[in-house]
């Protein structure tokens, strides 16, 4: 077995681990592309955690997993430290009693009003699995505003949460901006960036998974940071849509891998189309 296969395998190439969170644009479907593109290193640094699919499906010695969404990072941290006890608290909301519109909006309001980190983390799991289409969205005031999903029996991801808890012992979770995290990378690190994607069309722009946003200036800033970081001997891999903008922004990358992935790319859930994606490696 080569060092590369030891680094990236979980058990074998078919044993990919699903994230416990539903997440728009999560990287589970393209994890094979990502694993094959990631260089060797001691620590994987992820400035855009999302569902943490890449963290779950790689095998570096250490991880620095960050996101600008504090609810997400508090959830990951509590699952790491509290494990089974935290999972039990989440499970109570996965019964028919709470799977209705009235309870969903009551608990969403409770989530938006409370400042208790543990309560927010438990309710975040509930909202994620009962809300519409796996979205994580906030309004301009920072209020979670995803509508009720109307699922017959939402799945409680207990085994996925247990796996995360075990894997998380190798990780440090922080709430921070992407530029701060990337600039903190050191020799021996590998940086993987999964920013909110450049929109395929003007109507497809969706960048409000945290209470801020991610505009085209941020996209260019990320590309510039990748180039600067790679010049210090720290490789950076970025995933994004394959557009004229990204191809130009990543023109200093050493390697660009292009491929297609099946996604829902419109608000019409029955419309599944191929979206062009790319992985740009700066090293």
- Asked which of 83-87, 170-174, 201-205 is least confident by mean pLDDT, the reply is 201-205
pLDDT for position 202? 56
User: Would you say residue 262 has pLDDT above 80?
Assistant: no
Dist. CA 253–CA 281, nearest whole Å:
6
Integer CA distances (angstroms), 272 to 263, 264, 265, 266, in order: 6, 5, 7, 8
Question: Average pLDDT, stretch 241-260?
Answer: 96
- CA 204-247-249 angle, to 5 degrees, is 90
Dist. CA 195–CA 146, nearest whole Å:
21
Each residue's pLDDT tens digit, 62-113: 999 999 999 999 999 999 999 999 999 999 999 999 999 999 999 999 999 9
pLDDT for position 211? 40
Confidence bin at 5 (pLDDT 50/70/90): very low
Confidence bin at 12 (pLDDT 50/70/90): very low
Residue 142, Ramachandran bin (φ over 0: left; ψ between -120 and 50: alpha; else beta): left
* Strands, E assignment, the chain: 43-46, 62-67, 171-175, 189-193, 236-241, 255-264, 272-282
- Domains of the chain and CATH, by start: 3-68+176-282 (3.40.50.150), 75-158 (1.10.1020.10)
Helix (H, G, I), strand (E, B) or coil at 183: helix
Each residue's pLDDT tens digit, 28-47: 989 999 999 999 999 999 99
Answer with the residue of higher pLDDT: 116 or 261.
116
Contact between 89 and 122 under an 8 Å Cβ cutoff? The reply is: yes
Confidence bin at 170 (pLDDT 50/70/90): very high
User: Would you say residue 277 has pLDDT above 60?
Assistant: yes
User: Would you say residue 264 has pLDDT above 90?
Assistant: no
Dist. CA 6–CA 101, nearest whole Å:
47
Q: Which helix (H) or strand (E) holds 49?
A: none
Least Cα distance to 76 among 88, 62, 64 occurs for: 64
Q: What is the pTM of this model?
A: 0.88
């Amino acid at each position: 077995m080569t060092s590369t296969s030891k680094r990236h395998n979980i058990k074998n190439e078919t044993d990919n681990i699903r994230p416990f969170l539903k997440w728009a644009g999560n990287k589970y479907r393209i994890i094979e592309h990502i694993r094959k593109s990631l260089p060797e290193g001691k620590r994987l640094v992820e400035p855009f955690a999302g569902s943490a699919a890449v963290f779950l499906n790689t095998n570096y010695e250490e991880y620095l997993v960050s996101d600008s969404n504090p609810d997400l990072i508090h959830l990951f941290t509590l699952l790491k430290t509290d494990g089974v006890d935290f999972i039990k608290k989440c499970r109570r909301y996965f019964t028919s009693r709470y799977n209705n519109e009235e309870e969903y909006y009551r608990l969403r309001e409770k989530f938006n009003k409370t400042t208790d980190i543990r309560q927010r983390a438990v309710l975040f799991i509930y909202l994620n699995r009962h809300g519409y289409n796996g979205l994580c969205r906030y309004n301009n005031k920072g209020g979670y505003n995803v509508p009720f999903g109307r699922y017959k029996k939402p799945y409680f991801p207990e085994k996925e949460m247990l796996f995360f808890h075990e894997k998380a012992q190798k990780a440090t979770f922080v709430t921070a901006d992407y530029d701060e995290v990337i600039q903190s990378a050191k020799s021996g690190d590998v940086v993987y960036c999964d920013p909110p994607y450049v929109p395929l069309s003007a109507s497809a722009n969706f960048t409000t998974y945290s209470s801020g946003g991610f505009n085209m200036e941020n996209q260019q800033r990320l590309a510039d940071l990748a180039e600067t970081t790679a010049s210090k001997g720290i490789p950076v891999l970025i995933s994004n849509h394959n557009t004229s903008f990204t191809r130009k922004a990543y023109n200093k990358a050493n390697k660009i891998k292009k491929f297609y992935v099946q996604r829902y790319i419109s608000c019409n859930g029955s419309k599944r189309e191929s979206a062009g994606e790319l992985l740009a490696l700066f090293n």
